[in-house]
Structure 1
Amino acid sequence: MVRRPPPPIPPSPSELEIVAMLRKRGHGASVVKDTVRRPRLPSHQTSELKVVEELRRAKRGGSKR
């Protein structure tokens, strides 16, 4: 799989956009819901990185709870 840099992130994507984006990537609905429920940081860049980290962790099945 070729790793391409992600497209530039808009200042504040709406939750629906994020959900649609995650669904497009083929993530489970529960992960998506979890991501939406989490409060996001002021910096969308940081929050996007956090979301990606969360998804990686979720994929591995290592829940922190």
Structure 2
Amino acid sequence: MASDQGSGDGGIVEPTRTGDPFEDGTLEVPNCPVCLHRMEPASTAAGGVYWACTECGQTRLA
């Protein structure tokens, strides 16, 4: 059976991107591997980005 959607993606619409993954929601937020709380995005003074847990202090590369 043919479909008019062409790409065969099941009708999934890509979210609008602003260029900043923190603002447009395209960056998936991980859970902390130690305490399982949601990690929050953080950045270094040099502009690097990482994940930080506000509960236990665990960090992870973004």
Q: TM-score, normalised to structure 1's length?
A: 0.24
Q: TM-score, normalised by structure 2?
A: 0.24
Which has the larger helix fraction?
1
Which structure is larger by alpha-carbon Rg, 1 or 2? Answer: 2
- Which has the larger share of strand? 2
